[in-house]
């Protein structure tokens, strides 16, 4: 109620990107205030429920609800977001070198559609500064994924060098890594989703992860690949087959869409990636297709248009082991995470499941 009645009206009177920075920076600064994180936990934290815990390879997630990439691009508020009840979060997308991103304005609200359009263009402080930020933050209580990409001026033929550099710099600080090849806001990036380019990139990232693992020790760290929702049919099947053959840990489905079907707000004509409710069904369909093509053997993180517990549960039943939110957090506030957790528990109980893992891919067994 505090967010929806006070904070949201204030933030929504501001330019969308200014509100974004104010929120993330404030959450980051709160981490340095004695007692502030504990207060956030008491207000918004999600109680531990063993029924919702998820294990993927060497990682255990206290619940399946994560924060998608793009909100904390520079890892300045990981402790603050951790206190809100997330089971994990992505920091980034980060590139080897800092870059300013695309021209402003580049972030737009579509309130009548419960959506956002962004064409940020991987604006970030660069891998080295993100490493500093993560070091300063200390060990957060939840797994942190580092979402990596290439600089805008790096040709696709050399893209693997950028991804390798990100891994080299940030390997000690990420619990797992996400290869972003699906943002629509870096020219040519989505071309890396296909064929030999995709195969070569995955091989390069895996090799670099193995090199860093050999140097640093500890458990091997999972690698996920994030795909676009606009790839369909046989093209999606080939992409998923290539990813699966690359022996990565999993797939995130999906990134933002370039589709504008069914929108009513005037900002729909802005170029960029669309997120929010208009993506709900399409992202769930992609999760379902990826699960089918991989025969349920590759973990999936479902992302796109999750506003209610039912939205999250639909993706889980379609094949997602975990889910991520972003746009709904902007519209509904931090109370969303607890709402999703409690709602998932109720839905599991309704369907006779004692653990979230039993619901993963249930639609395929019906």
| Rounded Cα–Cα distance for residues 32 and 152 (Å) | 34
Say which of 82, 183, 249, 321 is annotated catalytic: 183
Tell me if residue 183 is catalytic: yes
Record the tokens describing residue 271, joined without a space.
């170029």
335 exposed, middle or buried (CB, 10 Å; 0-12, 13-18, 19+)?
Answer: middle
Strands 250-253 and 223-227: parallel
Cα–Cα distances in angstroms (integers) from residue 71 to residues 59, 81, 93, 313, 324, in the given order: 23, 10, 9, 23, 12
Which token pair is 293?
């093509």
91 Cβ contact list (under 8 Å, min separation 6) = 69, 72, 73, 74, 75, 78, 130, 134, 144, 145, 146, 147, 174
Task: Just list the catalytic residues.
Answer: 183
């Amino acid at each position: 109620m505090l967010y929806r009645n006070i904070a949201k009206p204030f933030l929504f009177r501001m330019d969308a990107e200014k509100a974004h920075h104010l929120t993330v920076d404030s959450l980051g600064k709160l981490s340095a205030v004695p007692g502030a994180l504990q207060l956030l936990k008491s207000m918004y934290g999600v109680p531990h429920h063993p029924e919702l815990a998820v294990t993927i390879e060497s990682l255990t997630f206290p619940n399946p609800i994560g924060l998608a990439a793009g909100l904390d691009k520079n890892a300045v508020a990981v402790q603050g977001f951790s206190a809100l009840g997330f089971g994990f979060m992505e920091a980034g997308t980060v590139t080897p070198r800092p870059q300013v991103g695309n021209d402003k304005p580049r972030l737009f609200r579509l309130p009548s559609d419960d959506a956002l359009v962004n064409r940020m263009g991987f604006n970030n402080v660069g891998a080295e500064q993100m490493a500093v930020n993560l070091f300063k933050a200390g060990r957060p209580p939840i797994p942190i994924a580092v979402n990596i990409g290439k600089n805008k001026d790096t040709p696709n033929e050399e893209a693997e060098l950028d991804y390798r550099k990100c891994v080299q710099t940030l390997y000690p600080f990420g619990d797992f890594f996400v290869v972003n090849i699906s943002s629509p806001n870096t020219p040519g990036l989505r071309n890396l989703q296909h064929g030999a380019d995709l195969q070569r990139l995955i091989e390069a990232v895996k090799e670099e992860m193995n090199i860093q693992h050999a140097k640093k020790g500890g458990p091997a760290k999972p690698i996920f690949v994030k795909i676009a929702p606009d790839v369909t049919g046989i093209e999606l099947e080939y992409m998923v087959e290539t990813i699966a053959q690359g022996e990565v840990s999993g797939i995130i489905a999906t990134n933002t869409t370039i589709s504008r079907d069914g929108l009513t707000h005037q900002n729909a004509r802005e170029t960029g990636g669309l997120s929010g409710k208009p993506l709900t069904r399409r992202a769930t369909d992609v999760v379902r297709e990826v699960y089918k093509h991989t025969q349920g053997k590759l973990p999936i993180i479902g992302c796109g248009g999750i506003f209610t517990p039912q939205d999250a549960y639909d993706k889980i039943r379609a094949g997602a082991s975990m889910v991520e939110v972003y746009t709904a957090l902007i519209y509904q506030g931090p109370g969303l995470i607890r709402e999703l957790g409690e709602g998932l528990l109720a839905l599991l109980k309704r369907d006779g499941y004692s653990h979230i893992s039993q619901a993963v891919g249930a639609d395929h067994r019906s």
